[in-house]
Amino acid sequence: MSEDPEIAAMRKSGSFDPQQFFKLARSVGHGRALGLEYRQSADNWIELALPWREELVGIPEEGILASGAIVSLLDTCGGSSVWMALGHFQPLVTIDLRLDYLRPAVKGETVIARCECYKLTRQVAFIRGAAHGGDANRPIAYATGTFMLNP
């Protein structure tokens, strides 16, 4: 499978524009299914949102979001924080991602994730982050992870 031309252009440009990337990501495959939204970012962190939708529910009788959607949100957010720290797009592989769930994401609740890349080596990036439903003092989950940098 060949690389998307817009992603190839982003890689060749030596930069990473998160707004442009998530606009593209929302138009295809997994990104379209999840509907992740870019919120804000800076040097080594990024904030994304996962709006509540019926098709992402894991416990229908209670409207609770499936944990897999939250894992995907935090994995994507963590990887994107690495791109922010690098200042450019390059392929990454999730080596390890640990989530500590503190509570469920309930019906109608948009889940907001914020991750930071706090350490970069030549081959590995280290991230930490959290997801909440609009109140950072009531987290849904905390995440820590490592990503392998693929040239």
Here the tokens at position 118 are: 């706090």
Domain segments of the chain: what residues?
A: 5-149
User: What would the two tokens of residue 79 be?
Assistant: 């990887």
* pTM metric for this prediction: 0.88
How does pLDDT run across 36-94, given as a tens digit for each residue?
A: 999 999 999 999 999 999 999 998 999 999 999 999 999 999 999 999 999 998 999 99
Cα pseudo-dihedral 148, 121, 39, 7, rounded to 10:
-50
Q: What is the three-class DSSP state of 43? A: coil
Q: Judging by DSSP bridges, how do beta strands 45-50 and 37-42 pair with one another?
A: antiparallel
Q: Which residues have a Cβ under 8 Å from the Cβ of 19 and sit 6 or more positions away?
A: 38
Helix (H, G, I), strand (E, B) or coil at 74: helix
- Taking the C-alpha atoms of residue 66 and residue 105, their distance in angstroms, rounded to an integer, is 8
What's 56's DSSP letter? G
Task: Pick the range with the lowest mean pLDDT from 2-11, 27-36, 126-135.
Answer: 2-11
Beta-carbon contacts of residue 12 (< 8 Å; ≥ 6 apart): none
More confident residue, 22 or 40: 40
Task: Bin 125: left if φ > 0, else alpha if -120 < ψ < 50, else beta.
Answer: beta
5-149 adopts what CATH topology?
Answer: Thiol Ester Dehydrase; Chain A (3.10.129)
Q: What is the identity of the amino acid at 145?
A: G
